[in-house]
C-alpha cells in the first residue's frame, strides 16, 4: 500500500471521529498498488450510523487536510442500499479496521 503507517493512523482516527468506531474502513484503487504512481486516496467507509451530506463533506475535508492528498470518499451508511461500487471497494480494497 502506498500510504505511510502515519497516514493510515490519521485516516483511521479521522474516520472514527466522523463515522464512529464501529465503522469498517477500506482503502481501494491505485493506492493499494505498490507499482502505481500518484493518484488520490480512495476510501470506502461502512458505518451503522445514519450520515448526512454535511457530515460526509466535513469528513472529506478533514481527511484531505490530514493526509495532504486528494481523497475520494465513498460512504455506505445505515440507510444506503448495497451498490456495485460498494462491493467492488470491499473486494478490491484493503480493510484497515
Residue 20 confidence (pLDDT) above 90: yes
- pLDDT for 24-68, tens place per residue? 999 999 888 887 887 899 999 999 999 999 999 999 999 999 999
Cell numbers 444506503 correspond to what residue?
A: 80
Sheet holding 94-95, edge to edge: 71-76, 41-46, 24-28, 94-95
Q: In total, how many domains does the chain have?
A: 1
Going by pLDDT thresholds of 50, 70 and 90, the confidence category of residue 81 is: very high
**Which whole number is the average pLDDT over 58-82?**
97
**Which whole number is the average pLDDT over 60-78?**
97
CATH of the domain at 36: 3.30.460.10
Residue 97 confidence (pLDDT) above 80: no
Q: What pTM does this model have?
A: 0.93
User: What is the DSSP code string of 20-48?
Assistant: -TT-EEEEEGGGG-TT-----EEEEEE-S
pLDDT confidence of residue 36:
82
**Which whole number is the average pLDDT over 1-14?**
93
Where in the sequence is the domain holding 10, given as residue range(s)? 5-95
pLDDT confidence of residue 92:
94
Amino acid at each position: 500500500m502506498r500510504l505511510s503507517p502515519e497516514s493510515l493512523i490519521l485516516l483511521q482516527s479521522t474516520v472514527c471521529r466522523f463515522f464512529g468506531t464501529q465503522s469498517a474502513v477500506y482503502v481501494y484503487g491505485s493506492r493499494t498498488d505498490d507499482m502505481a504512481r500518484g493518484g488520490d486516496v480512495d476510501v470506502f467507509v461502512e458505518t451503522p450510523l445514519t450520515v448526512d451530506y454535511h457530515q460526509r463533506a466535513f469528513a472529506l475535508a478533514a481527511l484531505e487536510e490530514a493526509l495532504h492528498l486528494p481523497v475520494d470518499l465513498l460512504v455506505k451508511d445505515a440507510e444506503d442500499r448495497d451498490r456495485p461500487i460498494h462491493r467492488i471497494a470491499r473486494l478490491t480494497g484493503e480493510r484497515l479496521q
